[in-house]
Amino acid sequence: MDHQPRLEGDLVTIRPTVAEDWDELFAVASDPLIWEVHPAHDRWQEDVFRRYFEDALASGGGLTIRDKASGKVIGASRYAFPDAARDEVEIGWTFIARNYWGGTYNREIKRLMLDHIHRSVRGAVFVVGRDNLRSRKAMEKIGGVLVEGRIERGDGSLLPDHVYYVIARGEGPQA
């Protein structure tokens, strides 16, 4: 599976994150309200976001999201932790500018990303902070199914204060 594809929908384009994306991505991420209910609630700070950004570059799965009409960077996401035993890949670390909140853009972003990975794996897993009700509601809105009792990522790491949603091939947001 290609973890850094180029994807295009009606509203957005998604492409591999590169070092030159720093300024535009940090401009979006520097809004503290994006992170207020996120477990990394300080990610709007430059030094904290710098770690997120460097990790995205090193991961081989970082993706930059642009508004197709304006060409502006509006956020980022990532593919990570392919899990052969479960036949799934994690989608996460997603954020988008607040003026794109409300479902339409997130639905298209997730639909494009899901369509891409479902050609190769059965499922997509989303790891969400247990108390991040905004993201949990968004996951349910696009068809994520809460997996009770799961506490580990595809790489075996434990995240006890998180919950896991799965969207299997053939499920999730439609065009």
For the stretch 94-144, pLDDT in tens is 999 999 998 799 899 999 999 999 999 999 999 999 999 989 998 998 899
Q: Is the pLDDT of residue 80 over 70?
A: yes
Q: Is the pLDDT of residue 175 over 70?
A: no
Domain ranges for the chain: 7-168
User: Which tokens go with 104?
Assistant: 């339409």
Question: What distance in Å separates the CA atoms of residue 72 and residue 84, rounded to the nearest whole number?
Answer: 36
Question: What distance in Å separates the CA atoms of residue 174 and residue 85, rounded to the nearest whole number?
Answer: 27
pLDDT of amino acid 174: 60
Whole-model pTM: value is 0.92
Q: Is the pLDDT of residue 159 over 90?
A: no
Question: What distance in Å separates the CA atoms of residue 124 and residue 109, rounded to the nearest whole number?
Answer: 14
Phi and psi at residue 115, to the nearest 5° = -55, -40
Q: Is the pLDDT of residue 12 over 90?
A: yes
Report the SS3 class of residue 29. Answer: helix
Question: What distance in Å separates the CA atoms of residue 9 and residue 143, rounded to the nearest whole number?
Answer: 19
Q: How many CB atoms are located within 10 Å of the residue 116 CB? A: 20
Residue 104 belongs to what H/E stretch?
Answer: helix 104-117
Q: Is the pLDDT of residue 88 over 60?
A: yes
Q: Does domain 7-168 match CATH 3.40.630.30? A: yes
User: Which residues on adjacent β-strands are paired with residue 79?
Assistant: 91
- Residue 23's contacts (CB-CB under 8 Å, 6 or more residues apart) are none
- Residue 85's contacts (CB-CB under 8 Å, 6 or more residues apart) are none
